[in-house]
Amino acid sequence: MVEEENKAANLASVVLSNMGTIKAYNLQEHFYSVFANTLEPLARAMKRQSVISAFVFACQYSFTYILIALTLYFGKGMMLNNEITVFDYMR
């Protein structure tokens, strides 16, 4: 991923330093497509990394609610089977 970033940065610096030549020969679209193709693998890697981060974030913040739901579910079952009372459950 670092290599792709360096490639894109080098290409951008070459294009910016030779802007007059690129405009004179009307090569803006060519260099835009080259730059877009250079950034494509980097964009895919960043998208994959953001999906993984989102999944970890969702799991981390939903864990508390899952534990509460499991406690309520099993507590209800134990109360219906008269294994514990409501007051025992609330403690």
Structural element, H or E, at residue 49: helix 28-80
pLDDT band at 88 (very low <50, low <70, confident <90, very high): confident
| Mean pLDDT, all residues of the chain | 89
Q: How far apart are CA 40 and CA 45, in angstroms?
A: 9
Q: How far apart are CA 71 and CA 81, in angstroms?
A: 15
The two three-digit tokens of residue 42, written as one number = 């980097």
The two three-digit tokens of residue 78, written as one number = 């134990």
pTM of the model: 0.60
- Domains of the chain: which residue ranges? 2-90
Tens of pLDDT, residue by residue over 40-74, are: 998 999 999 999 999 999 999 999 999 999 999 99
Instruction: Please tell me the predicted confidence (pLDDT) of residue 33.
Output: 92
